[in-house]
Structure 1
């Protein structure tokens, strides 16, 4: 160890104190808690330039788009897949899509909390590489079981950016400006399942089903390299931990304390991190209720995917490729809501806070959900009965757009609410939501073909609409009582 503050140690694992900042030198001498170089420290992700933060949000949103895109890109080609593997089981045919979404349920429970222990970058880059590798396995599958296994694995690792993305945005964007960033991210994750069948339908019709996966491999490979080269670590405690490690190499003493990181054995930290999403889901009434609502509408979206092709082929004579275009109407509704929420969510929260002489609350985010959620049952009834009576094909397509509007109205404000409420553990909060949402997205569509075969599209959609109506009061109740519930039922994380 160096004998004076200005000497340079000869030991290879030590850092010369001359290379440390004034603040770090003082910390090194007194063994204090490591901290930023003041409130404007450029190494703090919150203080990055606007351009750098915008690029980071766009990159995580692109990766967040790719996983849901991959979930549905093979949906129009499931009949081809069954024919090639000499299988006619309708349940297995639906499971080709569902098994990926079930993988999405498992992955966030691991990778969301892991990013709060080891940082965002290492988890994100590792999972991106594995996602591309497992998707190659899907493209080269020689049997249905092989395809199912690789679909499940790619779904597991592909869920990482969906769970981590909200955490990255919480790392970079202050609460009062978070609406637009979350709008970009959530639009990507919900637009993916909509765009996927359009590309997959034309690829399956023009080439074969394997090119649905090769397309994902090409896009995923390019995006993974871009993220590796451009996106830096955003998790503040991890960045401070690296800083503390650098200082510790100089002074040779015990590791410095890092804000946001508990001074406990790694095994205990990992255990706490892994169970954190489950605690949020089962011990927090607000997390449970919003997760159930999001899970329902997400499951509805995937269930509707199973109805578009048979409905528009049999009732309107659409080709396989033309049926894929129907998904665009869902995307239009999602885009309209995304624009509305990103424009008004932050302003509404600040305005309601100013009106009542307080800071904006997470509950203020849910007002837009209260207005938009009823569009789910309205759109379902519109789509179901107009298609049942074979009105002009644009009539059910408009109804589908209203469903998309409602789905986004539930998802985006709900995610914003979770990030604002559990900012330090935003990745775990979204992991809890994603888990339940993915389970519903994987299982609810399996009920679609038998239900719609028995009830037809009219009464099938009506059944779904009646269930959705029962959950529409949730945002109204949380807007009024959410703060009280958060205070009365705190969750020790």
Structure 2
């Protein structure tokens, strides 16, 4: 039986903050005994993990079990964004099949998936707080399979766009819950490496999708892009559904409490330490708006907006690659997909840099300033990414405008890829470290803004490039990226003060 009142090291889930709002308790034993069971005023015994070494606490799982969880989450996170871009290389074939030449609709067919990424987290995050992360992963991967089958069998263009949106809703699950799952099982000082694997999945996936689609479409037809996603998702589902463990502390303690109450004798009652006293309906209503409420906090909104702008550049480039490499350089469908590997190489370099530098930099700055490690100490690495993004945009845009050798613009995209992933990863580390207790919700907040912008911006891409050309079109994007550079410095200096200001301590 677990009735320990001993607090675990770092709260690892959104519900842990509720521990500070639990009912008033009194010791049932000696007031000087910190390990004595605690009871509420109505006589219910408080249920917690059995001290710092309890193996039921995900923080105390074996390294092998933690690695398997991180692998499962990461493989889903790789697969999901592949689905976002796999159809981009087949866009012309799909439009020809449905007898349409509307360029905006062609771009929407790719980016509508990301609109699902924006809406999915609003339901997935609060549902995970009620029922746990594991069940959401399992349900959503089945959903993901169903709607990719529907995409493959689409009878018309409208149906395909709707099914793409619904597939994106299911695909948003690992993107929304992944950081929370990692925070549940990995201590803060070791979290950077685990998050590096997760983040590269979310950004490398979009680069892999066009490669697969570029070779699969001419070989088997565009519908097989979606059959491929359904088959690959089915294989991952066979791994995830029977093995995915629950990591969410709120749900684990609720289950433990139910077991204790079922076995209790003599009217003894137990209550979870994280029980808020709300009914499931009340809890869902309270938490469903949390990602949007968190956007009212300036550091969350500004970081989410910055990440959204640079992330949308990836999809803007993906939707314009055919005009550059097919029309200008004469690449076929397969080689046109391969040009996205410039992003992939840059992303890999960015992850290696960020993973190797971030935690060491935090330790160095904490020692130099004689303070505890702070989330703001992750931000200097973002400055590096902030400079690489405009360099990549200028390089890619003007080399394409000048019609230089095809490798030159691809090298430019590698700088862009490195800058995007460094910026995105530093932003993720900062937000998760600053709001660990709300890891899933703050990730959902960032995802909503990021994917909404990534859905809409590429729709204007063709018109912008037609009017300005590749050189000035990409330069406009580069100047916007330069405009965000001072933000990182401002948040490094004033971020902690803003986060801890009373007016922004909203009851999430």
TM beyond 0.5: yes
The CA deviation at 1:354 is 2.4
The one of 78, 81, 85 equivalent to 1:68 is 81
Matches of residues 44-443 of structure 1 in structure 2 within 5 Å?
44-251=57-264, 256-281=270-295, 283-443=296-456
The verdict on how the C-alpha distance between 1:24 and 1:108 changes in structure 2, with shifts beyond 3 A counting, is farther
CA deviation after TM superposition for structure 1 residue 26, in Å? 9.4
Provide the C-alpha distance between the structure 1 equivalents of 2:273 and 2:212, rounded to a whole number of angstroms. 46
Per-residue CA distance 1:142-201 (angstroms, 9 max, x = gap): 111211111111111110110000110110111111111111101001111110001001
Match of 1:14 in 2: none
Q: Deviations over 1:15-38 (max 9, x none)?
A: xxxxxxxx9999899631101111
Give the conservation status (yes or no) of the 8 Å contact 2:37–2:46.
no
Conservation of the 8 A alpha-carbon contact between 1:34 and 1:244: yes
Contact 2:38 2:46 in 1 (8 A): no
1:58-100 CA distance string (max 9 Å, x none): 1101101111110100001111111111222221111111111
1:40 aligns with 2:53: yes
Residues paired across the two proteins, number: 470
Distance in 1, matches of 2:228 and 2:253, equals: 39
Paired residue for 1:473?
A: 486
Kindly state the Cα deviation for residue 206 of structure 1 after the two structures are TM-superposed.
1.5
Q: Report how far residue 104 of structure 1 moved.
A: 0.8
Shift of the alpha carbon at 1:113?
2.3
- Say if 2:387 and 2:482, in contact at 8 Å, map to a contact too: yes
SS of 1:86's partner is: coil
Q: TM-score, normalised by structure 2?
A: 0.90
Deviation at 1:473, TM superposition (A): 1.6
1:160–1:121 distance in 2 versus 1, CA, 3 Å: same
Q: Distance in 1 between matches of 2:410 and 2:221?
A: 27
Q: Secondary structure at the match of 2:271?
A: coil
1:399-455 Cα offsets, whole Å, 9 max, x none, are 100000111011111111111111121001000000011101111000111111111
Residues in 2 aligned to 1:45 and 1:58: alpha-carbon distance in whole angstroms? 15
- For the Cα contact (< 8 Å) 2:344–2:414, is it kept in 1? yes
Runs of 4+ in structure 1 over 4 Å off = 23-30, 252-255
The residue number in structure 2 matching 1:3 is none
Q: Structure 1: how far apart are the matches of 2:304 and 2:274?
A: 26
Contact in 1 for aligned 2:377/2:492 (Cα 8 Å):
yes
The two structures, once aligned, show a CA RMSD in angstroms of: 1.8
- Deviation of 1:117 after TM superposition, in Å, equals 2.1
Q: Tell me the CA shift for residue 54 of structure 1.
A: 1.2
CA–CA distance in structure 1, aligned partners of residues 386 and 125 of structure 2? 27
| Partner residue, 2:20 | none
Q: Compute the displacement of 1:260 (Å).
A: 3.2
Farther-moved stretch of structure 1 (115-124 vs 283-292): 115-124
Aligned-residue offset at 1:266:
2.2
1:490 is the counterpart of 2:505: yes
Alpha-carbon distance in 2 for matches of 1:104, 1:195: 18
Please give the alpha-carbon distance, in whole angstroms, between the structure 2 residues aligned to 1:65 and 1:474: 30
Q: Is the 8 A contact 1:100 1:151 kept in 2?
A: yes
Distance 2:490 2:237 in 1: 41
- Ranges in structure 1 where 5+ consecutive residues have no aligned partner: 1-22
